[in-house]
Amino acid sequence: MMSWVWFGLIALSVVFGICTGRINQVSQAAISGACDAVSLFLVLLAAICLWNGLMRIADKTGITGLLQRLLLPVTKRLFPNLAPGGAAMKAISMNIAANLLGLGNAATPLGLQAMSEMKKKAGATNTATNSMATFVVINTASLQLIPTTIAAIRIKYGAAAPFDILPAMWFASAVTLCFGIAAAKSMEGRPKRRLCRSAKNLPP
């Protein structure tokens, strides 16, 4: 699926680039986009090292375990295939907490850690498990409680009360999140039933 999205993006760019006479810019963008990826990678490398290091301390001192237990009533329903108290569940809990607090820099490294823990459990496969899909869909919905970046932009353009959109935003986010989870859960069984079962029967 991602192959088609990726191809679609590039094919559309080439077609529109030729039609609008901007093929020159498109050709430059191919290289500059790759360069942007590397500079973003450097930022992420720093963030990942920082939060991985802090996560190790939090793990050892039991902070992640505590957080994991706090969120368990929700997470055990979202991820029934993952062991409560396991490394994957801990990383997922930390990721959700970081998302809620708006620590975007921390949420991605913690999310990647959760993915790698789930991958360890799934074994050598290139197919997403139900838990992975649910987790990624949750991360593609926004959980942020205080949107500081957006508020800053609204202040810049003279908003009277930059946070007056919060109730509307929370409402829209909550509905979107529930919709996303429901969509992910309802699509789980459909494509390949056998695959889901075998994912469930894997050793923990």
Taking the least distance from each CB to other proteins, the nearer of 73 and 157 is: 157
Taking the least distance from each CB to other proteins, the nearer of 57 and 202 is: 57
Nearest distance, CB of residue 199 and other proteins, angstroms: 10
Give the closest residue to 95 by CA, choosing from 77, 72, 112. 112
CA dist 50 and 109 (Å) reads 9
Taking the least distance from each CB to other proteins, the nearer of 74 and 172 is: 172
Nearest distance, CB of residue 35 and other proteins, angstroms: 9
CA dist 121 and 199 (Å) reads 9
Torsion of CA 184, 181, 135, 60, to 10 degrees: -150
Taking the least distance from each CB to other proteins, the nearer of 71 and 115 is: 115
Nearest distance, CB of residue 76 and other proteins, angstroms: 20
CA dist 4 and 172 (Å) reads 29
Nearest distance, CB of residue 192 and other proteins, angstroms: 8
**Token duo for residue 44:** 């992420």
| Residue whose token pair is 């290139």 | 126
Nearest distance, CB of residue 202 and other proteins, angstroms: 15
CA dist 32 and 12 (Å) reads 18
Give the number of residues written for the chain: 204
Taking the least distance from each CB to other proteins, the nearer of 50 and 202 is: 50
